[in-house]
């Protein structure tokens, strides 16, 4: 959420930022509410000053024996008190309306973010690895999985519905291996692992920006409880309404969770396979940093996501999201895209973002550092996939497939697979 004072003093900056994201905001309504709120505050302050002065006067009048004048002053004080109460109710209503308006305005992109209308204009930053040249016609993972009897789409749909799938045998083992491998990659370089709940409340989702804007993409389990769309929500809100010790920043957190997204606006996109589904596993990274260090931490986080792919030997590229593609709460984002033969292209597998103080202001997460400044400041929050597990599985199956229909396990994963070096077809997914 943007600072209301910043919006008031820099409407042209907000105009430009929102327009660059192909969006709009109700500037006229903002200033209408803001001016009304400030007028109410001014009237309350004037009435309070008048009340305080009359309260002192009452004592003086009573001492002077001017009872009638004192009673008249008391009546005026009572009327002031009643009016102040009415105005405070009005102010609360205006505060709520103003906050609701501002919390729907997206973050301001960093100056280094390139202007562009959509994902076709995301500039490439770098590549790693070379896509494999097959001596045979490679299969897509949505064919490989059923042929190997490790992914069962039909049974997934039967027991849950469209865009769900079931993993069996070495498919389940591979999913678990990837999760443990990713967590070990992150914890080995200093991330603290968490195991959070997968059900959350509205306040938590508000803190990271999913509510109110993206409510239609969330799964409700009760009026105030939801299934999480990402562990970012939980890891970031661990410190909601807290003041952190600045000397201990940055904090590096990671967690594995299943994630749940209705994705109401994604009909027709990537409907085959396990690329875009309603439930998926993901290992998430979250960082809390000082404003001066947060961009360094974004570069570091992106490198940490890349390291997972490098250890798996999977070709990828990194792109910077342009203004027309960057997420609601992000000020700058790098997407890491893995090579998928089935698309003959790179596909997003991690999105690493710096949100500046956008989430911290919503979640009220501050830090203090007496050595450098007085009081407290909002921290900067960062998040990134480390990685999306299902997409990583798809990339492993497609890039490591063999002509005989088997799949070689990447060397780094063999210990996590209990020594299994190759996936071969079995008779049934339950075998």
**Catalytic residue among 32, 279, 348, 422, which?**
348
Tell me how far apart the alpha carbons of residues 84 and 86 are, in angstroms, rounded to a whole number. Answer: 5
Tell me how far apart the alpha carbons of residues 204 and 322 are, in angstroms, rounded to a whole number. Answer: 28
**Catalytic residue among 351, 353, 361, 362, which?**
351
CB atoms closer than 10 angstroms to residue 310: 16
Is 391 annotated in the active site? Answer: yes
* 376 in Cβ contact with 367 (< 8 Å): yes
* 290 in Cβ contact with 246 (< 8 Å): yes
* Beta partners for residue 225, in sequence order: 201, 222
Q: Tell me how far CA of residue 99 lies from CA of 42, 223, 407, in angstroms.
A: 19, 22, 53
* 128 in Cβ contact with 317 (< 8 Å): yes
**Catalytic residue among 261, 317, 361, 362, which?**
261
Tell me how far apart the alpha carbons of residues 23 and 60 are, in angstroms, rounded to a whole number. Answer: 60
The closest of 18, 1, 232 to 109, measured between CA atoms, is 18
3-state secondary structure of 300: helix
Sheet holding 219-222, edge to edge: 199-201, 225-227, 219-222
Is 261 annotated in the active site? Answer: yes
The closest of 149, 151, 147, 150 to 139, measured between CA atoms, is 147
Is 276 annotated in the active site? Answer: yes
**Catalytic residue among 20, 163, 391, 398, which?**
391
Tell me how far apart the alpha carbons of residues 190 and 175 are, in angstroms, rounded to a whole number. Answer: 23
**Catalytic residue among 127, 155, 276, 422, which?**
276
Q: Which residues are catalytic?
A: 261, 276, 348, 351, 391
């Amino acid at each position: 959420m943007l600072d209301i004072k910043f919006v008031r003093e820099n409407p042209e900056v907000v105009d430009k930022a929102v327009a660059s994201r192909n969006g709009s905001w109700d500037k006229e309504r903002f200033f209408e509410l803001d001016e009304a709120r400030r007028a109410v505050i001014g009237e309350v302050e004037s009435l309070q000053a008048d009340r305080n002065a009359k309260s002192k006067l009452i004592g003086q009048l009573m001492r002077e024996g001017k009872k009638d004048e004192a009673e008249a002053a008391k009546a005026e004080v009572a009327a002031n008190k009643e009016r102040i109460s009415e105005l405070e109710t009005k102010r609360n209503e205006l505060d709520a309306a103003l906050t609701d308006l501002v919390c729907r305005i997206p973050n301001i992109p960093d100056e280094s973010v390139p202007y562009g209308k959509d994902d076709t204009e995301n500039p490439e930053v770098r590549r790693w690895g070379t896509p494999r040249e097959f001596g045979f016609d490679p299969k897509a993972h949505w064919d490989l999985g059923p042929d190997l009897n490790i992914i069962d789409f039909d049974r997934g749909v039967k027991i849950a519905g469209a865009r769900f799938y079931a993993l069996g045998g070495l498919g389940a083992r591979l999913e678990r291996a990837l999760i443990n491998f990713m967590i070990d990659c992150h914890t080995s370089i200093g991330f603290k692992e968490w195991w959070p709940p997968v059900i959350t409340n509205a306040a938590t989702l508000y803190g990271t920006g999913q509510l109110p804007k993206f409510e239609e993409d969330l799964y409700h389990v009760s009026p105030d409880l939801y299934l999480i769309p990402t562990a970012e929500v939980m890891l970031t809100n661990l410190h909601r309404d807290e003041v952190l010790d600045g000397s201990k920043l940055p904090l590096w957190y990671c967690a594995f969770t299943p994630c749940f997204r209705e994705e109401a606006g994604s009909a027709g996109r990537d409907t085959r396979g396990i690329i875009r589904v309603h439930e998926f596993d993901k290992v998430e990274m979250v960082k809390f940093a000082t404003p001066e260090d947060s961009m360094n931490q974004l570069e570091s986080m992106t490198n940490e996501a890349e390291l997972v792919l490098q250890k798996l030997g999977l070709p990828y590229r990194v792109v910077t999201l342009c203004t027309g593609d960057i997420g609601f709460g992000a000020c700058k984002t790098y997407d890491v895209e893995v090579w998928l033969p089935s698309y003959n292209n790179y596909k997003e597998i991690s999105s690493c973002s710096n949100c500046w103080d956008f989430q911290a202001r919503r979640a009220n997460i501050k830090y203090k550092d007496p050595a450098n400044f007085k009081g407290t400041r909002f921290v900067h929050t960062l998040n990134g996939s480390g990685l999306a597990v299902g997409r990583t599985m798809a990339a492993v199956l497609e890039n490591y497939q063999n002509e005989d229909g088997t799949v070689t396990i990447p060397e780094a994963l063999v210990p996590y697979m209990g020594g299994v070096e190759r996936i071969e077809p079995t008779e049934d997914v339950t075998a």
